[in-house]
Amino acid sequence: MAKKKQKRILFLGILSLVFLYPVIYMLVCSVWEGRNAGISLMGYYEVLLESPGYLIKFWRSLGMCLLIAGGQTVLACMAGTAFAKYRFIGKKFWLFVMALFMILPVQVTLLPNYILMEKLGFLNSWKSLIIPGIFSPFGTVWLTFIFQSIPDEWLEAARLDRANQLQIVRYIVVPASKPAVVTLFVLTFVESWNMVEQPIIFLEGELDYPLSVFLASVMENSMAVQSVCGLLCLIPVTFFFLYYHKELTDGLRDILWS
Amino acid sequence: MRKQNRVRKGVAVLSVCALAAGLCSCGIDEKSEEKKILWVVTEKRLYDNVNLAAEFIEGTNSEIQVDIQTLAEYKEEREPQIQKLKTEIMAGKGPDLFLLDSIPENAEREGGFLIDNPYKTMQSGALASLDTFMEKDSYWEDGNYNKTFLKAGQYDGRQYIIPMSVCYYVLPRSEDIEEMTGDTLEEWLEQIRASDDIRLKQALYMFSAHGARWMQPAADYETKEVLLDKDKWVEFSEKYFQFRKEAYEEISGKENELYFRPLNKTLLAFYESQIDLQVVPDIEGRKMASIMSYGAVSMSSDRKKEAYDFLMLFLNDRTEQYRKKHADDSSMGLPSLYGYLDGNYMPVQKTAFEQWGEFPSEEMIQEMQESFREIDGAYFLTEGERALNFDVMAGNSRVTNLNCDIETEFSKIADTAIDTYKMLVEE
Amino acid sequence: MRKRNSGLLLALPALAGFLVFYFVPFLITGWYSVSFGIGKREFVGMANFQDLFENEMFLLAVKNTLRYMIVTVPVTLFGAIVLSILLQNTVRGVRFFQLSFLYPMILPIASVVLGVQFLWGESGIWNKVMELLGGEAKDWLNSSAAFWVLCILYCWRFTGYYVLIYFARLQMIPKEYYEYAMLFGAGKFQSFRHITWPMLIPTFMFTIVLSVMNAFKCYREAFLLGGNYPDDSIYLLQHFMNNNFQNLNYQKISAAAVSIVAALLLAAGVVYVLYLIMRRGKKYG
């Protein structure tokens, strides 16, 4: 039995290395200054100490993505509960439409969104990136599916205790599906981190762009810097994982004993 | 509980209303009735002349203010700038007038172009048709614009783009160099190969940097056909690179005295007079010129007439007339333009040669005009030309340095080029 | 006692935002797809769609994208299911594995492509190894093999994403179910078939939708590998859309988008019906 586990871990380990190949490549790139200079820490020096620009971009991108992830999670929890456990007009229709709309690539609604942003006065401000991100249908649709598996009885019991809808969401639904909710947060964070087209169109001026834009094209002169920035990108998610891992892996066990 | 619900419902309804109201109110634009703004987008190379024209227009028409936007030069700034402009254009809020340039097919521009492919942009409905203005404009009847160039800027029978400068290659032949009797590039190749004149061989040798000019036009965007003939093209490449191999011995080590040159100011500076300019033909005997700058008016513009008038300043003699009329005025005169937009490449009308060329000799002007008459047509430089040119140069080095087989290499290159043109034409 | 409350209020913020920022813009796109001209649009009916379906490049793009999806979706989803089940029962190092599967998604694409070029580019390692073994060195990224490189890229990039989703769902299955089943002598495969799989089906359907969506997001990779006019085999819908965007031809993009949505509607309708049937089966099971 132990041997089987060992084999499994070995298999997973090798697979991980394959997945990690570009990370390793980037680590190498970040210290390799080309054939002449050999190994040097100039990349790190430049990003971390010399020009504050990169770090500023990093923190701003981080802030923006946290806002988007947080907002989306909150809204999705509410709407997911509504779709999964309550009734209202056109529920099935809207769910279907939302699921369909997750599929559209960015360029399709880019132009109407641009006109909309202009009318709302969001252009040239990060509002134009954050607010649509919060309302993305992805979270709602996924959490709807997840919440459907929560037994109805729990909600009935809560209602008997005179809990209103928001309280039900907060005290019953979310704790029961913590892994999913936290996962949604992480996934939304990751997706918004990779946003490239919208910042270019909706924002003016290079200084405002999030880090993702800088990292989206290959700049030959500053490969080391790019690699360092790329490695920086890994930090937030790693942090989430290590910190929130308990939430991710706790299942219904908590609820059952409460 | 009920009261709570009611309060919440009320709040929800109110917020939806607020959102709707906000949307509507933000739609009301503040219109400043003061001046009409003409938004012109141009490139750095053309800026000086565009600026002069802007001064003239503002000086003669107090209602107009010209905003010139010059596209950035470096990739980091230029790419986002162009993306943004394109979105604005498609949203109907873009510039009024485009005065853009092109770069030679063997050069690279980092950050891309605002109009990558003028042919396709004409099909997209983003540009305004200029026919109504041109019909009322007497310039097109009396003026000296070389009408063969107009066709490239037409789509579906309507004129959308007006070419403003062109580039074609000539052989600057002094009297002691034999005259090329052939009509096609291949015949020229034969003649040069058989000749003893090492200078001619040098010139032809260096022409490998312009593979995209060997057969033009390469594609017809209206009929969606690729016109590049693979067999003829590969046949020519074989002969050409064979010639290069043979001529290498003769040429190497000696200083290059003769080139096929584009007709521009460098050529005029180099050769003062006493030369005959022969236009270099392509494989099929056509003499085509590439368009190096052009003007177009945006479909969404509210000031199409003003934009058109601005554009025409570079062609007609309005500034000249004004100058003559106000020659006696003691106040500072308005600038004059002399019938061309682009100082680097050939103007599109003969009358501008003198000023543009900075007063070359009479004979030179004659030669220029003669060569001008020979041109069969013009074409825009697109991704197809650049890719083909690049491939030919790469193929050249593989054939010369690595001794690869000429036919296989250039067959592959022709295939790729035809595929690319096909994609461009059909997309 | 009141019956189920209306959930409208609860869903309203998300729904309203969705309407404003996604639904309405799409309707505007729909308008664009049946009109022509910038500034003053004129209604042209189905002319744009007609042009579109006669457009060879569009048809090529559709064909390639479908091919791409048929390869990547099953491989990625099944791979993710297997991986997440493996992870479910592992105690040690779950975090590390999940993280390493997820990293590909977070890594900036440019670096990833550099890594790929390092492997499979003309002067890449793969070619060097091939030469050593006596094989032929090709420019893999500009040939039809580029398609497989792109598939590998997709699987590698998005598997971690789905693993996370499946894992989250699996974690919500009470362990007691499995213990119970073991008491009755059920083996690993049986407990998968009767416990895990039925609970996973809705999530599975969801990830199908997701993976279709993500297949459309592979533009940047294909662009960095092959440019705007790549080899025929990796010319995807996003290339078509992007190139027409660059050429300011928004009509074509809108028509293409509406066609895609219409096609997906059909497909989704079918899947949804299947899902309803399965769900009904589960209720009675």
pLDDT digits (tens, 9 = 90+) for B164-174: 999 999 998 88
| Better-predicted residue by pLDDT, A91 or C58 | C58
Residues C34, A203: Cα–Cα separation, whole Å: 29
Q: Is residue C144 part of a domain?
A: yes
**Which one of A109, A118, A215 makes the best mutation probe of the B interface by having the most chain B beta carbons within 10 Å?**
A118
Which subunits have 3 or more CB–CB pairs within 8 Å of chain B?
Answer: A, C
Question: Does B89 share its domain with B222?
Answer: no
Cβ atoms of residues C226 and C142 within 8 Å:
yes
Question: Does B235 share its domain with B305?
Answer: no
CATH assignment of the domain containing C112: 1.10.3720.10
Cβ of C164 within 8 Å of Cβ of A82? The answer is no
Q: Is residue B18 part of a domain?
A: no
Terminal-residue alpha carbon distance, chain B: 61
pLDDT at C4: 53
User: Is C177's pLDDT higher than 70?
Assistant: yes
Q: Is residue C97 part of a domain?
A: yes
pLDDT at B195: 87
| Full set of structural domains in chain A with CATH | 64-210+237-257 (1.10.3720.10)
CATH assignment of the domain containing B181: 3.40.190
Residues A226, A231: Cα–Cα separation, whole Å: 9
pLDDT digits (tens, 9 = 90+) for B174-203: 888 888 888 899 999 999 888 888 888 888
Residue numbers in A near C80 (CB within 8 A): none
pLDDT at B304: 92
Mean predicted lDDT score pLDDT of chain B: 85
User: Is A1's pLDDT higher than 60?
Assistant: no
Sign for the CA dihedral angle at C66, C70, C72, C76 comes to positive
Residue numbers in B near A162 (CB within 8 A): 1
Highest mean pLDDT among A2-6, A80-84, B64-68, B87-91: B64-68
Q: Is residue C2 part of a domain?
A: no
Question: Does B272 share its domain with B417?
Answer: yes
C-beta neighbour count of C69 within 10 angstroms? 18
pLDDT digits (tens, 9 = 90+) for A206-229: 567 777 777 666 555 666 777 777
**Which one of C41, C59, C248 makes the best mutation probe of the B interface by having the most chain B beta carbons within 10 Å?**
C248
Question: Does B185 share its domain with B125?
Answer: no
Split at pLDDT 50, 70, 90, the class of B28 is: very low
Split at pLDDT 50, 70, 90, the class of B122 is: very high
Q: Is residue C214 part of a domain?
A: yes
Terminal-residue alpha carbon distance, chain C: 31
Percent of chain C with pLDDT over 90: 0
User: Is C174's pLDDT higher than 70?
Assistant: yes
Q: Is residue B336 part of a domain?
A: yes
pLDDT at A219: 59
With an 8 Å Cβ cutoff, is B301 touching chain C?
A: yes
Cβ of B80 within 8 Å of Cβ of A120? The answer is no
Q: Is residue B333 part of a domain?
A: yes
Distance from CA of B91 to the nearest CA of A (A): 6
| Better-predicted residue by pLDDT, C146 or B233 | B233
Cβ of A204 within 8 Å of Cβ of B84? The answer is yes
Lowest mean pLDDT among A87-96, B386-395, C70-79, C216-225: C216-225
Question: Does B157 share its domain with B51?
Answer: yes
Percent of chain C with pLDDT over 70: 91
Give the structural domain span for C258: 57-267
Q: For residue B111, what is the nearest residue in chain A, using CA coordinates?
A: A217
pLDDT digits (tens, 9 = 90+) for B295-337: 999 998 889 999 999 999 998 888 888 888 887 765 567 888 8
Q: Is residue C50 part of a domain?
A: no
Split at pLDDT 50, 70, 90, the class of B22 is: very low
CATH assignment of the domain containing B304: 3.40.190.10
Q: Is residue B26 part of a domain?
A: no
| Better-predicted residue by pLDDT, A130 or C39 | A130
pLDDT at A249: 60
DSSP codes, A48-81: III-HHHHHHHHHHHHHHHHHHHHHHHHHHHHHH
pTM, full prediction: 0.80
Task: Spell out the residues 6+ positions from residue B394 whose beta carbon is closer than 8 angstroms to its own.
Answer: none
| Better-predicted residue by pLDDT, C153 or A4 | C153
With an 8 Å Cβ cutoff, is C285 touching chain B?
A: no
pLDDT at A207: 62
Q: Is residue B3 part of a domain?
A: no
Q: Is residue B353 part of a domain?
A: yes
Distances (CA, A) of B309 to A18, A92, B93, B130, C17: 63, 57, 20, 11, 46
Question: Does B113 share its domain with B195?
Answer: no
| Better-predicted residue by pLDDT, A235 or A216 | A235
Terminal-residue alpha carbon distance, chain A: 33
Question: Does B56 share its domain with B41?
Answer: yes
Split at pLDDT 50, 70, 90, the class of B26 is: very low
Task: Spell out the residues 6+ positions from residue B313 whose beta carbon is closer than 8 angstroms to its own.
Answer: B53, B56, B57, B319, B337
Question: Does B257 share its domain with B396?
Answer: yes
C-beta neighbour count of C74 within 10 angstroms? 12
How many distinct structural domains can be found in chain C? 1
Lowest mean pLDDT among B163-172, B327-336, B379-388, C148-157: B327-336
Q: For residue C16, what is the nearest residue in chain A, using CA coordinates?
A: A135
Question: Does B191 share its domain with B160?
Answer: no
How many distinct structural domains can be found in chain B? 2
pLDDT at A13: 80
Q: Average pLDDT, stretch C118-137?
A: 73
pLDDT at A234: 80
Nearest to C143 by CA among C32, C234, C72, C222: C234
pLDDT at B99: 94
Residue numbers in C near B12 (CB within 8 A): 9, 12
| Better-predicted residue by pLDDT, A216 or B62 | B62
Nearest CB among B80, B83, B91 relative to A111 is that of: B91
Cβ of B84 within 8 Å of Cβ of A164? The answer is no
Nearest CB among B4, B26, B83 relative to A201 is that of: B83
With an 8 Å Cβ cutoff, is B415 touching chain C?
A: no
Lowest mean pLDDT among A197-211, B64-78, B373-387, C8-22: A197-211
Lowest mean pLDDT among A75-84, A101-110, B255-264: A101-110
Residues B168, B173: Cα–Cα separation, whole Å: 15
Question: Does B332 share its domain with B272?
Answer: no
Q: Average pLDDT, stretch B40-67?
A: 91
pLDDT at B79: 82
pLDDT digits (tens, 9 = 90+) for A187-201: 888 888 877 777 777
ipTM of the complex: 0.78
Mind spelling out the 3-state secondary structure of B159-195?
Answer: ECEEEEEEECEEEEECCCCCCCCCCCHHHHHHHHHHC
Distance from CA of B392 to the nearest CA of C (A): 17
pLDDT at C225: 72
pLDDT at A183: 82
User: Is A240's pLDDT higher than 50?
Assistant: yes
Q: Average pLDDT, stretch B349-378?
A: 88
pLDDT at B266: 85
Nearest CB among C7, C25, C175 relative to A86 is that of: C7
- Cis before residue B217, ω within 30 degrees of 0? yes
User: Is C85's pLDDT higher than 50?
Assistant: yes
Question: Does B139 share its domain with B40?
Answer: yes
Residue numbers in C near A104 (CB within 8 A): 26, 216, 257, 260-261
Q: Is residue C70 part of a domain?
A: yes
User: Is C272's pLDDT higher than 70?
Assistant: yes
User: Is B15's pLDDT higher than 60?
Assistant: no
pLDDT at B409: 86
Q: Average pLDDT, stretch B28-57?
A: 81
Split at pLDDT 50, 70, 90, the class of B29 is: very low
Lowest mean pLDDT among A112-126, A200-214, C43-57: A200-214
Cβ of A146 within 8 Å of Cβ of C6? The answer is no
Cβ of B91 within 8 Å of Cβ of A162? The answer is no
Cβ atoms of residues B345 and B165 within 8 Å:
yes
Mean predicted lDDT score pLDDT of chain C: 79
Question: Does B273 share its domain with B388?
Answer: yes
Residue numbers in C near B125 (CB within 8 A): 36-38, 249, 251
User: Is A36's pLDDT higher than 70?
Assistant: no
User: Is B290's pLDDT higher than 60?
Assistant: yes
**Which one of C19, C28, C38 makes the best mutation probe of the B interface by having the most chain B beta carbons within 10 Å?**
C38
Give the structural domain span for B389: 169-286+382-426
With an 8 Å Cβ cutoff, is C223 touching chain B?
A: no
Strands B288-297 and B158-159: unpaired
Lowest mean pLDDT among C67-76, C80-89, C142-151, C220-229: C220-229
